[in-house]
């Protein structure tokens, strides 16, 4: 019978990771491991306080299902046992990995997805003073930069960064930090800087202000989209959605969400929390469906787990089976 083990692990961030809601210096992840005989599958998640999650609570929610897994609970049954969120993500991805290794068939093939190829990921520039962000953008030498904004002075930040990195494609993540009052000025600054996409400009729940609003730059939902049931409210308010496995509760619902978003005419961005290669690996299966890929979590860490994904600059390669899938 399958067994389940759960671990809490900490990985230092290189410097600090700063967004509109605060700053942190380490990534705290919860991993689930499902094993039977010589076969084992793993999944990793990042509990997120913004969504009412804690490390201890997520670990406990996963551990509570150990008897059910021993008695035959599978990935299909898991979907009804836990809601979308970090706990289900770790278990869902562990099941995918377990099934792939048990059956000798890659996870992408089991999911009916195209084989993932090397892709360009965004590289995140943390929120800071304009000159600090501009220097970080200049030093990064990356083709695609994700700018953390959401504070007073964002137009100045954008101008400074564009001057420092004139050839980079820019996407902006306001992390719910803008308001209806400053939306027009910030939109105009993004358009002037040639920004490709703006993530979550307003707080989740304030989406109605985006309805029928002239948008000089496409707008992407992040905190406003989780699982399938959150998609309907986005019509007329957003042009794209950011799919993160920690929000959907794993790869299973993420695939369904991506298909539904495509049918609704929404572009897809595949994103991540700050986490290790084990968390990025299953998300890479969605990249053939995505317009923008933001899977730079390991690039922001002082150390990754081993084995790790292969990154060459901003190019990330599909995982080897020893890591996942």
Neighbour order of strands in the sheet with 197-199:
123-125, 144-148, 169-173, 197-199, 219-221, 240-243, 267-270, 292-293
The answer to whether 148 is a known catalytic residue is yes
Say which residues have a Cβ less than 8 Å from residue 244's Cβ, sequence separation at least 6. 222, 270, 271, 272, 273, 283
Q: How far apart are alpha carbons 205 and 54 in whole angstroms?
A: 22
- Do residues 269 and 259 touch, judged by C-beta distance below 8 A? no
Known catalytic residue: 244? yes
CA angle 323–104–306, rounded 5-degree value: 10
172/154 Cα distance (integer angstroms) = 10
Choose, from 101, 146, 244, 247, the residue flagged as catalytic. 244
Query: How far is CA 208 from each of CA 184, 202, 292, 293, rounded to the nearest angstrom?
Result: 15, 10, 25, 27
> For residue 292, what are the β-bridge partners?
269
Alpha helices in the chain (DSSP H): 55-63, 66-70, 75-81, 86-103, 107-110, 130-140, 154-164, 183-192, 245-248, 251-263, 277-283
Residue with tokens 């084989």: 115
Q: How many other CB atoms sit within 10 Å of the CB of residue 322? A: 8
Catalytic entry in 101, 146, 148, 247: 148
Tokens of 271: 């994103």
Closest CA to 193 of 175, 179, 172: 172
Tokens of 1: 């019978």
Could you list the active site residues?
Answer: 148, 244
């Amino acid at each position: 019978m399958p067994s389940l083990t759960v671990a809490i692990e900490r990985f230092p961030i290189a410097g600090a990771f700063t967004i509109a809601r605060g700053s942190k210096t380490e990534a705290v992840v919860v991993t689930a491991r499902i094993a039977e005989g010589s076969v084992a599958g793993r999944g990793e998640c990042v509990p997120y306080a913004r969504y009412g999650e804690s490390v201890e609570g997520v670990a406990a929610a996963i551990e509570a299902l150990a008897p059910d897994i021993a008695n035959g609970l599978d990935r299909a049954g898991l979907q009804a046992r836990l809601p979308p969120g970090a706990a289900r993500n770790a278990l869902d991805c562990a099941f995918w990995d377990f099934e792939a290794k048990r059956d000798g068939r890659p996870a992408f093939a089991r999911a009916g997805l195209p084989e993932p190829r090397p892709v360009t990921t965004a590289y995140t520039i943390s929120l800071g003073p304009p000159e600090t962000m501009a220097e970080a953008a200049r030093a990064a030498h990356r083709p695609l930069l994700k700018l953390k904004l959401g504070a007073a002075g964002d137009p100045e930040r954008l101008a400074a960064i564009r001057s420092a990195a004139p050839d980079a494609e820019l996407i902006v993540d306001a992390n719910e930090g803008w308001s209806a009052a400053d939306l027009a000025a910030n939109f105009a600054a993004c358009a002037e800087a040639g920004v490709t996409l703006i993530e979550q400009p307003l707080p989740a729940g304030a989406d109605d202000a985006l309805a029928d609003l002239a948008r000089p730059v496409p707008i992407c939902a992040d905190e406003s989209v989780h699982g399938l049931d959150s998609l309907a409210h986005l019509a007329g308010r957003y042009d794209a959605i950011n799919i993160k496995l920690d929000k959907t509760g794993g790869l299973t619902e993420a695939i369904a969400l991506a298909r539904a978003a495509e049918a609704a005419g929404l572009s897809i961005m595949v994103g991540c929390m700050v986490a290790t290669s084990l968390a990025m690996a299953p998300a890479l299966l969605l990249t053939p469906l995505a317009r923008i890929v933001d899977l730079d979590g390991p690039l922001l860490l002082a150390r990754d787990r081993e084995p790790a994904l292969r990154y060459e600059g901003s190019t990330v390669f599909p995982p080897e089976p020893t890591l996942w899938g």
